[in-house]
Structure 1
Amino acid sequence: MADALELDALWEDFHRVVNMTSAELADWLRVRDSGELTEPLPLGRHVLAILQKRRTDLTEDDLRAMREVVDTVTAQADLENEPEAEDTRLRHRLMTVGHDPLKP
């Protein structure tokens, strides 16, 4: 298990990059799942489960998922600049893990 400082940093990073509420993410995943050409979204579902947990209830699997989400969003999103509204595919991919680049 991560030490307290590492856990605090990961918790903060995760909640910084996941800017959608659990209700917004649940709605988005329902829309994505209802499409015929979508792939399974296990990471998105895991993010949703993590958003509904307290920090003290996190498992090692949750911590791995949180690191993956932080790495994914950090690598794919430009967190410093205005998002490009035209890049719908990237936006939808990021929203699947709880980050809407068009959300302030």
Structure 2
Amino acid sequence: MSKSHDQIWEEWGDLVNMAPKELEDWLETEESKSVGADSGDGESKGHKSGERIIEIKRTNKDDLSDDDWDHMAKVVGYIKRHKAQGGPDDDMEHSDWRYSLMNWGHDPKKD
């Protein structure tokens, strides 16, 4: 059973905790570009997702397309799965685990 737009919106609001400008600045860093699976063109899937997240966050809820809602559900699922894996015990702040989550719009330091 798929989630309703209301369910996706609520989870998105809880999990995507980086503001568009904050995410935009993060995606410009070498740390951001250093993590994630290549999407086939040299840019990671997470990095591409971050760019899409910025667009979605700057869009009025009533103007979101079906593709936007699908991507939002994908982002929510990714963040939940990645967080469930747990971060490193030592240096979480400078870990690939955190960097990957941040590419998907979630900074675990804000939890």
TM-score, normalised with respect to structure 2: 0.75
Q: Equivalent residue of 1:102, what SS?
A: helix
Deviation at 1:98, TM superposition (A): 0.4
Deviation at 1:47, TM superposition (A): 0.5
**Residue 86 in 1 paired to residue 91 in 2?**
yes
Question: RMSD across aligned C-alpha pairs, in angstroms?
Answer: 2.8
- Aligned partner of 1:97 among 90, 93, 104: 104
Unmatched runs of 5 consecutive residues or more in structure 1:
none
Deviation at 1:62, TM superposition (A): 0.6
Q: Map 1:32-71; keep pairs closer than 5 Å.
A: 32=30, 37=34, 39-40=42-43, 41-71=47-77
Runs of 4 or more consecutive aligned structure 1 residues displaced over 4 Å after TM superposition? 32-35, 81-85
Deviation at 1:83, TM superposition (A): 7.9
TM-score, normalised with respect to structure 1: 0.79
Give the share of equivalent positions with the same residue, in percent.
31
Distance 2:90 2:53 in 1: 24
Deviation at 1:9, TM superposition (A): 1.2
Q: Equivalent residue of 1:19, what SS?
A: coil
Distance 1:72 1:34 in 2: 16
Q: Deviations over 1:39-58 (max 9, x none)?
A: 52211111110110111011
Unmatched runs of 5 consecutive residues or more in structure 2:
36-41
Q: Tell me the amino acid that sits aligned with residue 7 of structure 1.
A: H
- Structure 1 partner of 2:21: 23
User: Is the contact made by 2:32 and 2:99 (CA closer than 8 Å) also made in structure 1?
Assistant: no
